[in-house]
Structure 1
């Protein structure tokens, strides 16, 4: 869940301080990854082949991710993370997180778990970054069927990022999947308190109410979700639930 945004660490002492050409090139490449990701990928790959090293691989990962080519993005971020570890570069942990997120988006939860394990083993992530990494790790655990392990991850995340509504949403969804109705109800209520207008949270409120045998509350929550963002995955799923075509959300 950590955003795919990077900057090469630098401190500019004053206007007379020259800009490191490598940093400048990375900044241009990262900006191009937003504006024209295919062109950025080509330029980053040429830079990599020309000895661009870590910053070239970082930009290549960003460009692939912007194109939703998540498999190649995972490879680029993994290679960047390995190179950062060799160089004892402090960005290695964040790069492992990015590799894990890309692998998750590519549907390879097993590989994502491994990448995120590498990130969490490094003692350099901030508390917030570590909490988000635990949430990503939990998503990977759920995808491979390790629900109890995912609960451990989510509880650690909640201790680190207690004001993240998505953490409470994932916790509620997992509790519902494990038929822990009271825990699901408590956690989705906290998610709704923190983000009262979020369609995905309203959708899960409906699912939890359904689990607890409260069909009227469930339909009201699904209606809120569909009304808040009809074109989102949660909005569409809520509309299907209201139509009686589905009553369970995607996994966290």
Structure 2
């Protein structure tokens, strides 16, 4: 059972998030923060790291080469595909997709992952889910959210059959991002709910839920969700930044300043810190009224 936020938040994060008041306030156009956008490379590499590694010498060499020289690896993987049968075709296709992704050739990478998925045995639900998710990520990376949704739907079904909660949550987060991109925010909120249900301790799921709620001007929900995220990842500067934006839009300038200052302490010199300082400048000194 999850403890109340008031009991699990560290003192530092109590200062960072703070209570929120004035929920009827209108969103301030000078305080936008679009953090729900896709982190293509980070998410793709996470998915690749979670994939089962090839065991055959050729496959293992190909995957190692993909990190060192993706250009050469593309040709090596294509040659391997021409000779591969059965599971080797899956391994070679995965290798090809990874190498193409490293070259930002997302359309080709997407097709390579799809081909590898289709070569996977029907009862290997986890591998099919992972390859489908990687294909969906490739579609998102090239800006084709509609295609991503077509790929992520079956991947979600495979992950459910595999009873893999972490993978189910990850795919649900990708679906939420794609749904936001095609302007279907209510469906995105449903996808985020599924992500939180599958993996309740996933701080990113709570963060993206708070961001979407804030964008929909559901500030009470956003505050509850960002507090959950803060309890799970108390030193995450991105969470602190979103907490500040939610507090500012809710009329709680003091809590917003504390959140933005915490970002400066957690991630000095980063892009997040630059944004936080910009928001602090807009809020003005303590006691000033926000325009």
Alignment TM class, shorter chain as reference? 0.7 to 0.9
The residue number in structure 2 matching 1:145 is: 183
The 1:231/1:143 distance shift into structure 2, 3 A limit, reads farther
Q: How does 1:28-107 map to 2 (within 5 A)?
A: 28-51=61-84, 53-84=89-120, 89-90=124-125, 91-107=127-143
The residue number in structure 2 matching 1:195 is: 233
- How far apart, CA to CA, are the structure 2 residues paired with 1:244 and 1:47? 57
TM-score by length of 1: 0.83
- How far apart, CA to CA, are the structure 2 residues paired with 1:128 and 1:79? 24
The 1:234/1:67 distance shift into structure 2, 3 A limit, reads farther
**CA shift digits 1:186-240 (9 cap, x unpaired):** 1101111111111111110111111211223223322322442245553343333
Whether 1:126 aligns to 2:164 is yes
Whether 1:7 aligns to 2:33 is no
The residue number in structure 2 matching 1:17 is: none
- How far apart, CA to CA, are the structure 2 residues paired with 1:160 and 1:71? 30
- How far apart, CA to CA, are the structure 1 residues paired with 2:182 and 2:69? 35
The residue number in structure 2 matching 1:16 is: none
Provide the secondary structure at the position in 2 that maps to 1:145: coil
Unaligned runs of 5+ in 2: 1-42, 284-291
Superposition CA RMSD, Å: 2.3
Provide the secondary structure at the position in 2 that maps to 1:196: coil
| Contact 1:93-1:125 at 8 Å conserved across structures | no
**CA shift digits 1:160-180 (9 cap, x unpaired):** 111111111011101101111
The 1:60/1:186 distance shift into structure 2, 3 A limit, reads same
- How far apart, CA to CA, are the structure 2 residues paired with 1:63 and 1:125? 29
| Contact 2:152-2:171 at 8 Å conserved across structures | yes
**CA shift digits 1:86-134 (9 cap, x unpaired):** x654411110011112222222211111111011122225122111111
Whether 1:172 aligns to 2:210 is yes
- Which structure's relative contact order is higher, taking Cα pairs within 8 Å and 6+ residues apart? 2
Q: How does 1:226-245 map to 2 (within 5 A)?
A: 226-230=264-268, 232-244=270-282
| Contact 1:200-1:235 at 8 Å conserved across structures | no
The residue number in structure 2 matching 1:218 is: 256
Unaligned runs of 5+ in 1: 10-19, 246-252
Quote the offset at 1:242 in angstroms: 3.2
Quote the offset at 1:153 in angstroms: 0.8
| Contact 1:97-1:133 at 8 Å conserved across structures | yes
| Contact 2:47-2:130 at 8 Å conserved across structures | no
The 1:3/1:230 distance shift into structure 2, 3 A limit, reads farther
The 1:31/1:172 distance shift into structure 2, 3 A limit, reads same
- How far apart, CA to CA, are the structure 1 residues paired with 2:105 and 2:281? 34
**CA shift digits 1:50-103 (9 cap, x unpaired):** 446222111011112233433332221122112226x65441111001111222
Aligned length: 232
